[in-house]
A = this chain, B = another copy of it.
Amino acid sequence: MSSAFGKLLTITTFGESHGPGVGVVLDGCPPGIAITAERIQHDLDRRRPGQSAVTTQREEPDRVEILSGVFEGVTTGTPIALLVRSVDAHPQDYAALKDLFRPGHADYTYWKKYGVRDYRGSGRSSGRETLGRVAAGAIARAILNAAGVRVRAYTVQVGEIVAADRDLDFAEENPVRCPDRAAALIMERAILATRDAGDSLGGVVEILATGVPAGWGDPVMDKLDATLAWGLMSIGAVKGVEIGDGFASARLRGSEMNDRMSKRGFETNHAGGILGGISTGQPIVARIAVKPPSSIAIPQKTVDIKGEEREVRSDGRHDPCICPRIVPVAEAMTCLALADALLLQRALRP
């Protein structure tokens, strides 16, 4: 089930970049959750292109339609199908790329895996696939909100620039979605300069879930951090996932890493809110490494299907840094993983 995620609350996304539409089926949603197309649209709009100068200038209105599973404003417990129709697709723009394997893209690997390929706008490996994730994530978020859980993500690094502050309200007010006022401005300039140079930039996005009670997540294989790692690493462009101190913990001693407990609870949170795969009741903190977008205007050497060497360059309408637009996708996958953990824990101890 290559396009499915979740045990009880399951999503299956579908759709190619330039096909009739992309979407998702969310199965296993409890009944009685209030949801509207507007609420889902709100999250979709946060991942929409063309929001600012630091994102791609493509225009994709991306209006969601609820096809099933919602009746008179609430979920009914049946599968919720959500569809975003494609508009204004110019597949002919991609005819030139038909036989090319663009560097950093999945062109070559899809070709080797399937032997056929919808080459238009990256086809299935397009970032448009994440529309389905974000749409379903909005419903998972509604489930979590009812349980007092809040999930937010924000850009904490772009290239060499690292955010020090965590002003989460500010994060949604600047185009980079950075929670540090000073860093946000420098990041924005760095992205624009890189774009003007025809290049792109990587970064790091942090995810924060507050209000998760102790006891969510299954031990052993379905550890909460393992499920988060699966979900977050399944987002295109993500090359790493860490929880709590993550890779920094490799440099620590046990006496530094261990979160001690007193009568007031945990005194630190090096673990990032998860011990033995189960939530501790502290904030859950994860970070993902986001590679620089592969489509750049600088000409790049590559080969075509026949093995002939060619040159390829993007038309410049691509994101110079995908961090701001990965933020809602990372939130969606986190919401889906946490809402699933909530349901699983309910089954275990109602």
Contacts and interface: CB of A to CB of B under 8 A. Distances in A.
Interface in A1-23: 1-5, 7-8, 10-16, 19-23
A75 B110 CA distance: 13
Contacts of A25: 3, 12, 14, 25
A240 B230 contact: no
A289 interface: yes
B113 A293 contact: no
A279 interface: yes
Interface residues of A, number: 152
The listed residue with most B CB atoms (<10 A of its CB), out of A105, A114, A272, A274, is: A114
Given A28-B1, A116-B77, A255-B296, A202 B250 contact: yes
Given A202-B249, A348-B31, A15 B74 contact: no
A171 interface: no
Rank and list the top 8 A-B pairs by shortest CB-CB distance, nearest first.
Answer: A106-B276, A2-B218, A240-B242, A109-B278, A200-B254, A230-B230, A347-B347, A112-B214
B69 A14 contact: yes
A146 interface: no
Interface in A291-307: 291-296, 298, 300-303, 307
B199 A221 contact: no
18 contacts: A14-B69, A19-B67, A77-B113, A105-B276, A106-B219, A108-B280, A109-B277, A109-B279, A113-B214, A113-B348, A229-B233, A240-B241, A254-B293, A254-B298, A256-B292, A262-B303, A263-B307, A346-B346
A257 to B, nearest CB: 5
Given A261-B303, A276-B109, A8 B347 contact: yes
